[in-house]
Amino acid sequence: MEETIDLKEYFLIIKKKAWIIALITSMAMLASGIISFFVLSPVYQTKTTLIVNSDKAPGTDVITGDQISVSQKLAVTYGEIIKSKTVLDEVANQLKIKGGYSKLEKKLTVSPLADTQILEISVEDTNPQRAADIANTIPTAFTKEVKRITKANNVEVIDKAIVPKSPIKPNKVMNIMISAVLGIMASLFVIFLLEYMDNKIKSPQDIEKHLGLPLLGVIPNERKVRKGGKRR
């Protein structure tokens, strides 16, 4: 019974202070909307895929299981070469991107697809055309470096990167929804904190609840205003 009464009190507190919830939540959503639409730069993503082949056995066109296994291991190794300073500096030089390796390394993700000979190169940039240019220049610079290191020519492009039409972030709707939830949580915290710090006796029931004293009676305090009455 006590729990039911307390729950009712919580709902009454929330109802009474609903304007605080509305105010804080609205401010949080407005701030998130302004940041998402006008402050954060849109980021575009594009991808290119490569396949790593191992040399075929002499005198045969058949690729064995061992050769596939070797290709899969090579894909992991080649992924690290793609992210190397030599390759990325070459890409930066070709595209005239300032910052070289240190700048491109942050835009690049290389992922060997599980149990395949395929490498996926993902590039993120605030400029969609530049993102595609970087992704499509990497295979050229990478192949050149692989030939220099291993004398091999066993990498082919499967899909070239295309210019992305829409950004992947910021997710404006999601940001606003998250800010709304956080705003509600923050406002509830403020409401209950204010209620906890408020020691005023607001009703006869508060006397019994907080002071533990029995309630003998209630004296009404009403101010009667008579129309046309005279002041004394």
Q: Where are the domains of the chain?
A: 12-40+170-188, 44-159
Local confidence band at 197 (pLDDT 50, 70, 90 cut-offs): confident
Q: How far apart are CA 215 and CA 205, in angstroms?
A: 8
Kindly report, residue by residue over 78-95, the tens digit of the pLDDT.
899 999 999 999 999 999
Domain 44-159, CATH: 3.30.70.1130
Kindly report, residue by residue over 150-186, the tens digit of the pLDDT.
776 778 999 999 999 999 999 999 999 999 999 999 9
Local confidence band at 202 (pLDDT 50, 70, 90 cut-offs): low
Tokens found for residue 90: 């070459």
- The total number of residues written for the chain in this structure: 232
172: exposed, middle or buried (Cβ count in 10 Å: 0-12, 13-18, 19+): middle
Kindly report, residue by residue over 31-64, the tens digit of the pLDDT.
999 999 999 999 999 999 999 876 555 554 545 5
pLDDT at 213 over 80: no
